[in-house]
Amino acid sequence: HAGTAKHGGVLLVAGDDHGAYSSTLPHQSDHLFAACMVPVLYPCNVQEYLDLGLHAWAMSRFSGCAVGFKALADTVESSASVDANPFRLNLVLPSSFAMPKQGLNNRLSTDTLGVQAKAQEALMQDYKIYAAIAYARANKLNRTMIDSAHAKLGIMASGKSYLDVLEALEELGIDETRAGEIGIRVYKVAMPWPLEPEGVREFAQGLDEILVVEEKRQIVEYQLKEQLYNWREDVRPRVVGKFDEKGEWVNDRGDWLLTSKADFSVAQIARVIAARIAKFHTSAMIEERLAFLQAKESQLSKAANMPARSAYYCAGCPHNTSTRVPDGSLALAGIGCHVMATSIFPESNKLTTHMGGEGAPWIGQSAFSKLDHVFQNLGDGTYFHSGSLAIRAAIAAKVNITYKILYNDAVAMTGGQPVDGSLSVWQLAWQLAAEGVERIALVSADTKRYQQSDPLPASVSLHERHELDAVQRELRTIKGVTVLLYDQVCASEKRRRQKKGAWPLPVERVFINEAVCEGCGDCGEQSNC
């Protein structure tokens, strides 16, 4: 609402994880952006990250809006040869859009905040969002990619789903020429919200049905239905997407076509497209291709005759030791590799929460629990991100909790990157002491370096790893908020550094003597390795 500068612009990149492959829950950003009146662009490949990125900056400058950019791992983690010349694009600024007298870019005001807020809202509702639509129209961000002179079925898709549609058509043996013969029209949506209406009207004319292909909850489908609602019934195409013709909001709800749960495959899209085509066109080739796809999926879905391997800590991972708690104690989980403790030690590690919320549930639960104290696992990266606020809240609430800050010197869960910013164990200890943590225990794989470094706060005691159990038993008896700093570098990251010569190789190694080993597994049990 505040606006953007004429030569500035705001691009909001949101990483969406539709299938919850590396997130706590499946999620999408489209509806959040729409609720904040932020136009959304959705690139389908690496080239479009450059092209739509430039359009996003230009749109933001022209309309005064911040512009959302939807990013999926499928595209972000891929590679491609691209044309990086920014001047290959002809960015068109709409000349016919009626701008307000003072324009749409941000400007200083001497009005009171209340007056400014109402003026900004009016500017957004009356002009800015329509300026974004005008930009999308002038630059044809949404456009028909495959057409037919006698089109009956329209397919509308955006981002990754557009490429999935093309692949699904290919799997069915339908190229652009064949699509034209059958009567298929395909519309690519680069700006899913707000949906530019003139392009939609042109695309929808003459169609009997439009299939909207989009992952997660409907964003394009609902806008399309709204835009077509007042068309005459004899010319208005039927719209299906998540559900069949019976629709969604009826007592006897229609059948799912393309689910909003998790994500869907190319084969699922191909089946739906084939079923919609079959309503007006018969093809032995499509039926054969579909049968092959179904046979392939059936074969792939058969259970492999091999034992399943549960997720587990890496060999040598410090969490093997640090996430254990004494008998009778409970540890709460959080974001990071250490969340696996909930399945490795399920009897003593429970209740995960969002990043930065570690320990917060205990603030509400503690008054109603028979437990007097809990441990809370917290990674160093999460602490630096937002976890320190949870500790501050726990101190203010005066609850009995020990935060186990697992300092492994790397963002281990996503590849071993360094934690953003500088935060040493020494800095962490002084910061915690300044926050009001009265008792801090530092357990380290190398205590000597702390004896030779700058002094630690007086409230910090230094311990070897073998003292962990005794230290935890002591901390759980102390009222209020205490902290156990467990300092041991991530095992995988240590191996990476050793390969690069940035970490000393061990002078002593442990081997299993195969001649006397009875295969009892006790060594693995003791090391949790």
User: What CATH number does residue 206 fall under?
Assistant: 3.40.50.920
Note the Cα 299 to chain centre separation in Å: 31
511 assigned to some structural domain: no
Assigned domain for 277 exists: yes
Domain end position, chosen among 246, 263, 298:
298
Listed ranges 79-88, 127-136, 343-352; the one with the highest mean pLDDT: 127-136
d(CA 351, CA 361): 9
Q: Tell whether 420 and 478 lie within a shared domain.
A: yes
Q: What is the pLDDT of residue 304?
A: 66
**Average pLDDT over the chain, rounded to an integer:** 91
Residue 286 has pLDDT above 90, yes or no: yes
Q: For the segment 489-518, what is each residue's pLDDT rounded down to a tens digit?
A: 888 888 888 899 988 998 888 888 999 999
Q: Which of 138, 163, 183 is the last residue of a domain?
A: 138
Region 137-156: mean pLDDT is 97
Structure confidence at residue 363 (pLDDT)? 96
CB hemisphere CA count around 451 (13 angstroms): 9
Q: Are residues 160 and 260 in the same domain?
A: yes
Instruction: Please check whether residues 87 and 124 belong to one and the same domain.
Output: yes
pLDDT for 415: 64
> Residue type at 39?
P
215 and 172 housed in the same domain = yes
* Mean pLDDT, range 350-363, rounded to an integer: 91
Q: 459-466: which pairs have CB atoms within 8 A and are 24 or more residues apart? A: 459/433, 460/429, 460/433, 460/485, 465/321
Residues 156, 120 within the same domain: no
Alpha-carbon radius of gyration of the chain: 29
Residue 445 has pLDDT above 90, yes or no: no
- From 104, 138, 172, give the residue that closes a domain: 138
Rounded to an integer, the average pLDDT of 291-311 is 79
Same-domain status, 379 and 272: no
pLDDT for 527 equals 73
Q: Is residue 407 part of a domain?
A: yes
List, for residues 387-411, the tens digit of each pLDDT value.
999 999 999 999 999 999 999 877 7
pLDDT at 177 over 70: yes
Per residue in 35-90, pLDDT tens? 999 999 999 999 999 999 999 999 999 999 999 999 998 888 889 999 999 899 99
- What torsion, rounded to 10 degrees, do the Cα atoms 200, 205, 210, 214 define? -10
Whole-number pLDDT of residue 416: 62
3-state secondary structure (DSSP) of residue 345: coil
Is the distance from CB of 478 to CB of 439 less than 8 angstroms? Answer: yes
My answer on whether 123 and 43 are in the same domain is: yes
Residue 360 vs residue 528, higher pLDDT: 360
- Supply the range of the domain harboring residue 249: 143-298
CA 448 to chain centre: 41
pLDDT, tens digit, 9 for 90 and up, residues 417-434: 666 767 889 999 999 999
The answer to whether residues 343 and 231 belong to one domain is: no
CATH code: domain of residue 433:
3.40.50.970
Residues 288 and 149 occupy one common structural domain: yes
Q: In this structure, are residues 180 and 169 in contact, taking their beta carbons and an 8 Å threshold?
A: no
pLDDT, mean of residues 229-250:
90
Q: What is the pLDDT of residue 413?
A: 64
Do 290 and 343 belong to one domain? no
Verify that 397 and 437 share a domain, yes or no. yes
Q: Count up the domains in the chain and report the number.
A: 3
What pTM, to 2 d.p., does this model score? 0.83
Report the pLDDT value the prediction gives residue 414, as an integer from 0 to 100.
64
* % the chain with pLDDT above 90: 64
Q: What is the structure's pLDDT at 300?
A: 78
Residue 5 falls within a domain, yes or no?
A: no
Average pLDDT over residues 104-127: 86
Range 144-148 average pLDDT: 97
Considering only CA atoms, which of 30, 37, 38, 36 is closest in space to residue 10?
38
Residue 2 lies in a domain: no
Find tokens 């357990």 and name the residue: 443
pLDDT score, position 303: 65
Residue 423: its pLDDT value, please?
83
Let me know if residue 48 belongs to a domain.
yes
Cα separation, 206 vs 473, in Å, equals 75
| Residue at 271 is within a domain | yes
pLDDT band at 131 (very low <50, low <70, confident <90, very high): very high
> Average pLDDT of 322-346?
91
- Does residue 53 lie in a domain region? yes
Report the SS3 class of residue 431: helix
Same domain, 338 and 461: yes
DSSP string, 432-501: HHHHT--EEEEEES-THHHHSSSPPPTTEEEEEGGGHHHHHHHHTTSSSEEEEEEE---HHHHHHHHHTT
* Selected residue with higher pLDDT from 22 and 233: 233
- At residue 266, what is the residue type? V
* Token reading at 498: 């050793």
